[in-house]
Amino acid sequence: MILVTGVMGKVGSEVARQLMAAGAATCALVRDRAKMGSLPKGVEPAFGSLDDPASLDRACAGVEAVFMGSFENPDVLRLQANLIAAAKRAGVKRLARLSALSTDEASPVPFARTHAKGDRQVIESGIGGIALRPGWFHQNFLTYFPKGVLRAAAGQGRVAFIDVRDIAAVAIKVLSAPGWEGSAIDLSGPEALSHADVAAILSRATGRTFTYADVEPAAYRRETIAGGASPYYADVLDYLYERIRSGQSATLADGVHRVLGRDPIPLARFAQDHAGALIDQL
């Protein structure tokens, strides 16, 4: 039995879907009973909250491994510690945490600093902790191109975008077999692309026109907040786009190949597989 948290997110839902496709016993931590109908078919709900240790004990009972989806919360380290403690009490063998390539414990940006501390908390937990550190997702582009235009403050910087299907497959592999405990695994796609490259690839795959509009960083921040985002989220985007513009997001990581023994899924294949959903944004 594998417990999945964050099952409503892009990666958590794909982890659950792949587990079910493989016939693996799977349960998902669900806080809101009203959302139970949104679970992938066949996934068993485990009702509870990261802020309720007793419910986590019930959710972890009989579980061999845990996938912990990423979440933003000022109290994330305490909440994560609750799950780690419950997993220890239940005798869980492995726990994989979804993190990010942009982690940096010395960063002045809370997002990067907290992710790095969260990774260390899991790796040093003593229960076979693993940190999975992917970059930006292919699947983000299913919503990033309203009317076919992507507005971003990325300049001409390149990003090694990764497919969520690869992240989920890596998560399942490291949770199902020994040898990865105590490690942090960097994950990226097979190529570093600019946002203009992305628009061109989506255009070729769909036969429609997608374009990239480069926005000056200060203007982009104003747009983000005017659109309803919090200053905290705007800070996160400032940090991530600065990493892209400075070239820090272009590095290719070999985690997918090391764990799965194959190359990562390229953006062109993602675009072909999701052409209909991409076109729906136009």
DSSP 138-188: GGGGGTS-GGGEEEES-TT-EE--B-HHHHHHHHHHHHHSSS-TTEEEEE-
Q: Is residue 275 part of a domain?
A: no
Number of domains in the chain: 1
Q: Is residue 86 part of a domain?
A: yes
| pLDDT tens track for 62-111 | 999 999 998 888 899 999 999 999 999 999 999 999 999 999 999 888 88
Report pTM. Answer: 0.96
| Element at 204 (helix H, strand E) | helix 195-206
Would you state the pLDDT for residue 226? 97
pLDDT tier for residue 36 given thresholds of 50, 70 and 90 = confident
- The candidate with the shortest Cα–Cα distance to 35, out of 7, 2, 4, 67, is 7
CATH label of the domain that carries residue 134:
3.40.50.720
- Token duo for residue 88: 């220890």
Average pLDDT score, the chain = 96
Give the range of the structural domain holding residue 115, as residue numbers without chain letter.
2-138+162-190+251-265
Q: How far is CA 150 from the centre of its chain?
A: 20
Q: Is residue 84 part of a domain?
A: yes
Q: Is residue 208 part of a domain?
A: no
| pLDDT tens track for 180-205 | 999 999 999 999 999 999 999 999 99
| pLDDT tens track for 136-154 | 999 999 999 999 999 999 9
Would you state the pLDDT for residue 153? 98
Q: Is 227 helix (H, G, I), strand (E, B) or coil?
A: coil
Q: Are 166 and 187 in contact (CB under 8 A)?
A: yes
Q: Is residue 114 part of a domain?
A: yes
- Residues in contact with 53: Cβ distance below 8 Å, sequence separation at least 6, in sequence order: 82, 85, 86
Would you state the pLDDT for residue 41? 84
Q: Is residue 278 part of a domain?
A: no
**What does the alpha-carbon distance between residue 10 and residue 146 come to, in Å, rounded to a whole number?**
19
What percent of the chain lies above the pLDDT cut of 90?
A: 91
Q: Is residue 70 part of a domain?
A: yes
Q: Is residue 152 part of a domain?
A: no
- The candidate with the shortest Cα–Cα distance to 86, out of 50, 33, 114, 47, is 50
